[in-house]
Structure 1
């Protein structure tokens, strides 16, 4: 599996898990909120909004345009702080895999890879 293919599958799994955790049905941020320069747009939107409307579309655009992925990705600590509830654990598991894949070029766990194959 290519790097792009793995990343696309991780992004798809992130969306799927966000839906299952009821984190996908968030309101569309305003134009001004989308202009935030703060990490994760913490000053203007919730993390689930940032993931849905900024992170996921940007990752897909990079892959579709055959551009390199960022060299570093550290979303998990922020997600763990924001979503301290059991139903978010599956989402955080995928974010951990995305962080490790981008930052350390580490393949997702065998368990997660099996999920990606379906």
Structure 2
């Protein structure tokens, strides 16, 4: 299961890059310190994925730490990208898959 999670994280990163949603420069530390869900008050959902979600999960995998038992990021991304002209189907599929992997028993 950990290998499956790692593979889908790589897919998420690749899709963010393909869609030109990957930032070369990290946001300020204050933006990363948000306590709001998905740092919605300081980051866009793609920034949250890049600078908080992916690094956190990669670190947990590297350290052998327990992974979250529940995940529900796809609905947030679906809402963010609704009405967007970007071809986000593959990104949304990857996010649904990571939700399913992390939320399965």
Q: Is the 8 A contact 1:27 1:49 kept in 2?
A: no
Corresponding position: 1:36 with 2:34? yes
Cα deviation digits, residues 18-68 of structure 1 (max 9, x gap): 111121136421111111011100011101110000000000000000011
Give 1:79's match in structure 2, choosing from 68, 74, 77: 77
Give the structure, 1 or 2, with the largest relative contact order (CA under 8 Å, sep 6 or more). 2
Which residue of the partner structure matches residue 90 of structure 1? 90
Structure 1 runs of 4+ with >2 Å offset: none
Which residue of the partner structure matches residue 52 of structure 2? 54
Aligned length: 103
Show structure 1 runs of 5+ residues with no match.
Answer: 106-118
Root-mean-square deviation over aligned CA pairs: 1.3
Question: Normalising by structure 1, what TM-score?
Answer: 0.82
Show structure 2 runs of 5+ residues with no match.
Answer: none
Question: Normalising by structure 2, what TM-score?
Answer: 0.91
